[in-house]
Amino acid sequence: MGGRPLKGRISISGAKNSALPCMAAAILTPEKVTLHNIPYVRDIITQRRLLEDIGATVLTPELRTHQITASHIEIFEAPYELVKTMRASVLALGPLLARFGKAKVSLPGGCAIGTRPIDLHLSGFEQLGAEVGLEAGDVLARAPHGGRLRGAEINFAKVTVTGTENLMMAATLARGKTILNNAACEPEISDLAELLNKMGARVRGAGTARIEIEGVEALGGAEHTIIPDRIETGTFIVAAAITRGDLEIRDCRPEHLAALVAKLREAGVALEELNQSTLRVSGDHHIKATDVITEPHPGFPTDMQAQYMTLMTQANGRTAIAETVFENRFMHVSELQRMGARIHIDGHSASVDGPVRLTGARVLASDLRASASLVLAGLVAEGETSIQRVYHIDRGYERIEAKLRAVGADIERIRESVSATLSASLEGDAAIA
Question: Does residue number 348 form part of the binding site for ligand EPU (CB under 6 A)?
Answer: no
Question: Is residue 252 flagged as an active site residue?
Answer: no
Q: Which stretch binds ligand EPU (CB under 6 A): 69-77, 112-120, 173-181, 332-340?
A: 112-120
* Residue of 41, 50, 118, 352 interacting with ligand EPU (CB under 6 A): 118
- The residue range among 1-9, 63-71, 118-126, 350-358 that interacts with ligand EPU, by the rule CB under 6 A, is 118-126
User: Between residues 28 and 184, which has the closer beta carbon with respect to ligand EPU?
Assistant: 184
Per CB under 6 A, 230 contacts ligand EPU: no
Q: Are 84 and 123 in contact (CB under 8 A)?
A: no
For residue 88, state whether it binds ligand EPU (rule: CB under 6 A).
Answer: yes
Question: Residue 325, interface with ligand EPU (CB under 6 A)?
Answer: yes
Tell me the closest approach of the beta carbon of residue 331 to ligand EPU, in angstroms.
12
Q: Does 158 bind ligand EPU (CB under 6 A)?
A: yes
Nearest alpha carbon to residue 76 among 52, 92, 58, 57: 92
Size of the site for ligand EPU (CB under 6 A): 22
**CB of 228 or CB of 360, closer to ligand EPU:** 228
Q: Determine, following the binding rule CB under 6 A, whether residue 121 of this chain makes contact with ligand EPU.
A: yes
Q: Is 120 in the site for ligand EPU (CB under 6 A)?
A: yes
Shortest reach from residue 280's CB to ligand EPU, in Å: 25
**Residues from 28 through 87 that contact ligand EPU (CB under 6 A):** 87
User: Are 125 and 118 a contacting pair, CB within 8 Å?
Assistant: no
**Residue 354 or 396: which CB sits closer to ligand EPU?**
396
Task: Confirm or reject binding of residue 302 to ligand EPU (CB under 6 A).
Answer: yes
What is the 3 state secondary structure string of the chain?
Answer: CCCCCCEEEEECCECHHHHHHHHHHHHHCCCEEEEECCCCCHHHHHHHHHHHHHCCEEEEEECCEEEEECCCCCCCEECHHHHCCCHHHHHHHHHHHHHHCEEEEECCCCECCECCCCHHHHHHHHHCCCEEEEECCEEEEECCCCCCCECCEEECCCCCHHHHHHHHHHHHCCECEEEEECCCCCHHHHHHHHHHHHCCCEEECECECEEEEECCCCCCCEEEECCECHHHHHHHHHHHHHCCCEEEEECCCHHHHHHHHHHHHHCCCCEEEEECCEEEECCCCCCECCCEEECCCCCECHHHHHHHHHHHCCCEEEEEEECCCCCCCCHHHHHHHHCCCEEEEECCEEEEEECCCCECCEEECCCHHHHHHHHHHHHHCECEEEEECCHHHHCCCCCHHHHHHHCCCCEEEEECCCEEEEECCCCCCCCCC
Provide, rounded to whole angstroms, the least separation between the CB of residue 87 and ligand EPU: 6
Listed ranges 32-40, 70-78, 161-169, 206-214: which one lies at the site for ligand EPU (CB under 6 A): 161-169
Q: Regarding beta strands 131-135 and 342-346, do their DSSP bridges make them parallel or antiparallel, or are they unpaired?
A: unpaired
Q: How far is the CB of 210 from ligand EPU (least distance, A)?
A: 17
Candidate list 22, 111, 185, 252, residue with the active-site label: 111
Q: Compute the distance between CA of residue 106 and CA of residue 90 in angstroms, rounded to an integer.
A: 9
Task: Kindly state whether residue 369 participates in binding ligand EPU, applying the rule CB under 6 A.
Answer: yes
Query: Closer to ligand EPU at the Cβ: 294 or 421?
Result: 294
| Residue 237 found at the interface with ligand EPU (CB under 6 A) | no
The whole-angstrom separation of Cα 88 and Cα 362 is 30
Least distance in angstroms from the C-beta of 168 to ligand EPU = 12
Q: Which of residues 52 and 119 has its CB atom nearest to ligand EPU in the complex? A: 119
Identified binder of ligand EPU from the candidate list 13, 37, 106, 160, rule CB under 6 A: 160
Q: Is 185 in the site for ligand EPU (CB under 6 A)?
A: no
Q: Counting contacts by CB under 6 A, is residue 139 touching ligand EPU?
A: no
Site for ligand EPU in 391-410 (CB under 6 A): 396
* Minimum separation from the CB atom of position 88 to ligand EPU (A): 4
Binding residues (CB under 6 A) for ligand EPU: these are 17, 20, 87-88, 116-121, 158, 160-163, 302-303, 325-326, 368-369, 396
Task: Show which residues are catalytic.
Answer: 111
